[in-house]
Amino acid sequence: MTRTRATASPLFTPTKTTPAQQRAARVKFAAARRTARVAGTPSPQRGSEPDERRLRPTYSTAGRPGPASARGGQLKLPAHRMTTAVAAGAYPFLAEGGLGAEGIYIGRDVHAEAAFCYDPFALYGKLEGFTNPNMLLAGIIGMGKSALAKSLATRAIAHGYRVYVPCDPKGEWTVVSESLGGHTIALGPGLPGRLNPLDAPDRPYGADPGDWASEVRKRRLLLLASLARTVLKRDLLPMEHTALDVALDIVVHAAGTTGVTPLLGDIARVLGSSYLLDTATESTTGALGRAAEDLTHALRRLVHGDLAGMFDAPSTVRFDPTAPMLSIDLSRLGGAGDDTALVLAMTCASAWMESALADPSGGRRWVIYDEAWRVMRHSALLERMQSQWKLSRGLGIANLMVIHRLSDLLTAGDAGSRSRALAEGLLSDCSTRIVYRQEPDQLATAASLLGLTGVETEAVSALTKGRGLWKVAGRGFVTQHILHPREFELFDTDARMLG
Ligand SMILES: Nc1ncnc2c1ncn2[C@@H]1O[C@H](COP(=O)(O)OP(=O)(O)OP(=O)(O)O)[C@@H](O)[C@H]1O
Ligand SMILES: [Mg+2]
């Protein structure tokens, strides 16, 4: 009797079979393989389909199309040896070894076809030229800048960092903050949220009480001066500075005896009283009261004007240093083209947040300024940002500012002006610059401000959604930011456009 070989599955074709049986078995095998392949594919859902497209290799397996591919010809070049540093200059992106696996997963390095991870705290001290943890993110509307900032925030929290968003003019961070267990304070006329910008932060552990009191006084004076400057649209005169510090001392002294926190309304009241200012300075001329008239009216706007109620009452929220995220929703302010309300609110809100951030034992934190181009038009806010930038290393803070165009930095002021210098200073204090797609007329500015090579500039003009040129301490990567389907749902800002 002929022995048929044992089979592991009915699809295995024994040797002693007729060709017809073999054919039938092959057809069955092909059908089974198809079924298995379909079963292994996840069901399509929103967010995963674009992922498929994004994950496709940049070029087909035959390489780059066109004559640049240098394929198919008779080109024969002698072998050429060079160091990897020279190779990286000659072939940017292709010869790049990556930043390593440490840090927050961002997506895919499209040229190296490898995962791209980034963490400014992990890179600091390890990468040559990486002198600070600050980041700049620029790109045209709708290219996914906020989505990247939100992903960085969400994933940073998983790495144990805390995230603060002092500027959210579109109110799109609220949903992110709430779903991560953080807090949001919405400020605007008629809303219940209140922030007292004169709140004194808790004294850091080990700080001398006398030193801390003078630090708090300095912060409050800076805040009052920048509020007044914003409303008056000019620098303060020397006597106005004096009036402010005399008024602050009177109010703080009175508050100390009653045990309450001083309010902006108290300051405005003292400034408006020539008698109180004269008594405190042991004068009888009333000169200080007269010099403070403009100031009184400037602060009045925050107490009785269109911002009344928002910043002249005790805070309705306490800064919770243990919360993973805190955002300040300013979407109800500055809608009608007048940014002054937004700037005043941001000044108060950022002063309030910064005083809490000043605690160096607060761990590593991220501070994200979404839509920072709006902030950059105002020198008072630029100054605040600059001081945050300078303090970043000492306090363990990574700042991220999101703008549309690199020329936003140049429009902060005229050439040679203080605002312009401040804005350019912010750029030079960012070791990481991420450029999303730029309009053709912006490419030259971007290239000159960031020192991009011709190849990099060309790459920037052709970037698609979520794809950016990352310049990290002079090294360049083209990276596709990959969103998790849940992130895609949470960060969606296209819902209104797509219906
Ligand atoms: N990497 C990505 N992959 C797929 N979709 C993305 C990606 N990044 C962003 N998107 C989608 O693109 C839309 C616009 O993104 P986003 O709001 O982040 O743009 P933006 O650059 O911040 O725009 P604007 O300048 O108006 O603030 C969002 O709905 C988001 O879900
Ligand atoms: Mg955005």
| 187-193 CB contacts, 8 Å cutoff, 24+ apart | 187/310, 187/328, 187/329, 187/330, 187/332, 187/333, 187/345, 187/349, 188/310, 188/330, 188/331, 188/332, 188/333, 189/306, 189/307, 189/309, 189/310, 189/332, 191/310, 191/332, 192/316, 193/310, 193/316, 193/317
The answer, yes or no, to whether any atom of ligand 1 lies below 6 A from the CB of 142, is: yes
Q: In percent, how much of the chain has pLDDT > 90?
A: 23
Residue 7 confidence (pLDDT) above 60: no
Residue 140 confidence (pLDDT) above 60: yes
Residue nearest to atom 31 of ligand 1 (CA): 492
Residue 88 confidence (pLDDT) above 80: no
> Which is more confidently placed, 59 or 261?
261
Mean pLDDT of 68-94: 74
CB neighbours of residue 337 within 10 Å: 5
Mean pLDDT of 342-368: 79
The answer, yes or no, to whether any atom of ligand 1 lies below 6 A from the CB of 485, is: no
Ligand 1 pocket: which of 49, 404, 470, 488 to mutate (most atoms <8 Å of CB)? 488
Per-residue confidence band for 364, with pLDDT thresholds at 50, 70 and 90: confident
Strands 467-472 and 475-481, sheet pairing: antiparallel
Which residues make Cβ contacts (< 8 Å) with residue 283, sequence separation at least 6? none
In DSSP terms, 326 is beta-bridged to: 164, 183
Mean pLDDT of 41-48: 54
Lowest mean pLDDT among 324-328, 357-361, 380-384: 357-361
Q: What's the angle, vertex CA 247, arms to CA 244 and CA 252, rounded to 5? A: 120
The answer, yes or no, to whether any atom of ligand 1 lies below 6 A from the CB of 377, is: no
The answer, yes or no, to whether any atom of ligand 1 lies below 6 A from the CB of 99, is: no
Ligand 2 centre and the CA of 370: distance in Å? 7
- How far apart CA 464 and CA 478 sit, in angstroms, is 11
Lowest mean pLDDT among 8-17, 19-28, 212-221: 8-17
pTM of the model: 0.78
Residue 169 confidence (pLDDT) above 80: yes
- How far apart CA 395 and CA 359 sit, in angstroms, is 7
Residue nearest to atom 30 of ligand 1 (CA): 492
CB neighbours of residue 252 within 10 Å: 19
Cβ-contact 288, 242 below 8 angstroms: yes
The answer, yes or no, to whether any atom of ligand 1 lies below 6 A from the CB of 355, is: no
Ligand 1 pocket: which of 370, 491, 496 to mutate (most atoms <8 Å of CB)? 491
Q: Which two tokens stand for residue 373?
A: 């181009």
Question: What atom of ligand 1 comes closest to residue 466's alpha carbon?
Answer: 1
Question: What atom of ligand 1 comes closest to residue 371's alpha carbon?
Answer: 27
Ligand 1 pocket: which of 51, 145, 439 to mutate (most atoms <8 Å of CB)? 145
Q: In percent, how much of the chain has pLDDT > 70?
A: 87
Q: Which two tokens stand for residue 316?
A: 């309705």
The answer, yes or no, to whether any atom of ligand 1 lies below 6 A from the CB of 50, is: yes
Per-residue confidence band for 6, with pLDDT thresholds at 50, 70 and 90: very low
Per-residue confidence band for 116, with pLDDT thresholds at 50, 70 and 90: very high
Which residue type, as a one-letter code, is found at position 133? P
Per-residue confidence band for 100, with pLDDT thresholds at 50, 70 and 90: confident
Residue nearest to atom 15 of ligand 1 (CA): 144
Which residue type, as a one-letter code, is found at position 395? L
Question: To the nearest whole number, what is the mean pLDDT of the chain?
Answer: 82
Per-residue confidence band for 13, with pLDDT thresholds at 50, 70 and 90: low
How confident is the model over 410-465, as pLDDT tens digits?
877 777 788 888 888 888 889 999 999 999 888 988 898 888 888 889 889 889 99
Question: What atom of ligand 1 comes closest to residue 480's alpha carbon?
Answer: 1
Cβ-contact 225, 239 below 8 angstroms: no
Nearest to 221 by CA among 202, 237, 244, 203: 244
Residue nearest to atom 3 of ligand 1 (CA): 466
Per-residue confidence band for 388, with pLDDT thresholds at 50, 70 and 90: confident
Mean pLDDT of 252-280: 87
Cβ-contact 252, 262 below 8 angstroms: yes
Residue 5 confidence (pLDDT) above 70: no
Ligand 1 pocket: which of 368, 478, 493 to mutate (most atoms <8 Å of CB)? 493
| Most distant CA atoms of the chain, gap in Å | 129
Residue nearest to atom 14 of ligand 1 (CA): 142
Ligand 1 centre and the CA of 144: distance in Å? 3
Residue nearest to atom 8 of ligand 1 (CA): 144
The answer, yes or no, to whether any atom of ligand 1 lies below 6 A from the CB of 220, is: no
Q: How far is CA 330 from the centre of its chain?
A: 16
Cβ-contact 98, 114 below 8 angstroms: yes
